[in-house]
Structure 1
Amino acid sequence: MAIKRLDRDGSHRKQFERNKKRIYATQTVCGICGKPVDFSIKYPHPMSPCIDHIIPVAKGGHPSDIDNLQLAHWTCNRQKSDKLFATNGKKVTKITSNRVLPTIIDWINYRAKK
């Protein structure tokens, strides 16, 4: 049985969606790789924008708190997954690269289907 994600299906869904809109309106840089995020790129493109939980929900992070959410590229978020490392007693996310893209698709000329 799949684990129910509160930010997708549960009581935190509305607040997560509100905070997602707020982050999309105020942030422009990926919180993982530090590169600009292009909002004209749509999913399933690996560089499309998405919301990352700084402390993953699977590791005890809050599913909808604005302080636990950040803008990210989809591929950066996938690579980060639920990884954490400790620095000075604080939980901090590990920075990963977003340059490992599938080579079977020409991502420079890719356009999502509308």
Structure 2
Amino acid sequence: MKHEAKEDRTMRGLDDKTYRKRTSALKALKQDCWLCRKPIDYTLPWRHRLAFTADHVQPRSKGGHLYGEIRAAHRSCNSSRSNRVTTIDQPPKTALNW
């Protein structure tokens, strides 16, 4: 099963050396999540829902490129956003409209 996951990552391009370097450089900046604006715990294991992920601003499924703009996001925020286009200046979601 691990072999299938490796093939899936390669097919998607996520195993690309340049992409991995860009993701590592982004992770080193230790930025807050660009979607919820909350801090990311960079010590969490990668599968944890609050762990760091590199989120493509322009989703790849919507024409975004593997080397397109990426931003730091929690795994859960990135997954919740799915392939919806989000503007960078979009305010975080709140329970009340201030």
> What TM-score comes out, normalization by structure 1 length?
0.63
Which residue pairs with 1:34 in the alignment? 37
Matched, 1:55 2:30: no
- Displacement over 4 Å in runs of 4+: 93-97
Which residue pairs with 1:64 in the alignment? 67
Query: How far apart are 1:82 and its partner, in Å?
Result: 0.2
Which residue pairs with 1:73 in the alignment? 74
- Report sequence identity in percent: 27
User: Alignment partner of 1:18: what SS?
Assistant: helix
> What TM-score comes out, normalization by structure 2 length?
0.72
User: Which structure is larger by alpha-carbon Rg, 1 or 2?
Assistant: 1
Give structure 1 stretches of 5+ with no counterpart.
Answer: 86-91, 98-114
Closer, same or farther in 2 for the Cα pair 1:96/1:34, shift >3 Å? Answer: closer
Q: Which has the higher helix share?
A: 2
Paired residue total? 83
Give structure 2 stretches of 5+ with no counterpart.
Answer: 1-7, 94-98
